[in-house]
Each structure stands twice: as C-alpha cells, then as structure tokens.
Amino acid sequence: MGRPLDKKEAVLYGQFVNAAYKMFERNPKMPFPEPQSCDIPAPYELVAWLHMSDFFFWWREKPKFYGFIARHREQKRNFVLAIRGTKGWVEWLDDFMARLVPFRQVPNAGRVENGFEKIYGTLKVVNRYGPAGREAVAKPRSHLYRRPSKSRKLSASSWRI
C-alpha cells in the first residue's frame, strides 16, 4: 500500500518538472542546457541530462533534452529524475499513438501509453561530472529499476530514486 499524499513533496516534484520544461524551452535544440539559478530547487544540483528521441519521423530525429537528474547537495544518495512532458507538434504526433502497451523497460510495472514507451525506450543518461565529461553516456539497465515503493516515489513525471 502507498502512503498518504504529501502536498509539499508533490509541489517540490512539480518544481523539478517545471525546471525541465524551462531548460528545454530556452533553446529546444541545445542538448545540454544549463539550469538558471532559480530552476532547480535548492539544495539540489544537476548531475546528468536525459536524452530521448522522438519516433514519429524516425529518419530525421536526433536525441534531444527531455529532462535531468538532480542530487541533493548534503544527502548524496537523494536523487530526483525529472522528465518534461510533451512539447511541440512532433511530440504530439508521437502521443497520438494513444493505446496502452506493457512497459518493457520496467518488468511488471503495468501498462503505459505507446508513445511514452517508445520514447522512453531511447533514454540515455549523460553524466555532467563523469570521467569522460559529456561523453559518458549510459543506457538505463532494466534490472536496476523496480516498481515505486515507500522508498521510491513517482510523482507526475518526476522520480525520486
């Protein structure tokens, strides 16, 4: 069973999603947007960018900024993954594929909208402070992800992992 909704926590996660939108909207073609000082709630800092690819025009699409991972500055094991939502007509066309399909990236996680599942399947994490800098790209590994529990919270498009 879940726990009761914490309204302050929900607002905090909403701020992360808004930050992902703001960072994208400043320059939609920039793959590594830097947050402005007021974007990411204190005391969190950006540690990685999230890139995904749209699939409607698969022959033209390149990975683009979809969100970020932030880490609490004092509680180093406290992370928030924020994914922005739909922006632009190509993404709306992807979303138009509105049928539920099994979420293959997370076993036994249920069903999600087809467009989200396809876009999420292209997720790449680009580390901000990795040894190779921006070249340190990693695909998520399904076995590392589990269904949200009391210690893993899912709110809108923002995950605390």
Q: What is the pLDDT of residues 67-124, one digit of tens each?
A: 999 999 999 999 999 999 878 777 777 666 678 999 998 889 899 888 788 888 889 9
Domain-embedded: residue 35: yes
11 domain residue, yes or no:
yes
**Within 13 Å of residue 101, how many CA atoms lie on the same side as its CB?**
16
* DSSP symbol at 74: S
Q: What is the pTM of this model?
A: 0.74
Amino acid residing at 8 = K
In tens, the pLDDT along 31-77 reads 999 999 999 999 999 999 999 987 766 666 688 999 999 999 999 99
pLDDT at 152 over 90: no
- How far is it, in rounded angstroms, from Cα 84 to Cα 94? 15
Q: Is 2 among the domain residues?
A: no
Question: How many alpha carbons fall within 13 Å on the CB side of residue 20?
Answer: 27
Domain count, the chain: 1
1 in a domain, yes or no?
no
Range of the domain at 116: 7-160
Q: How many residues does the chain have?
A: 161
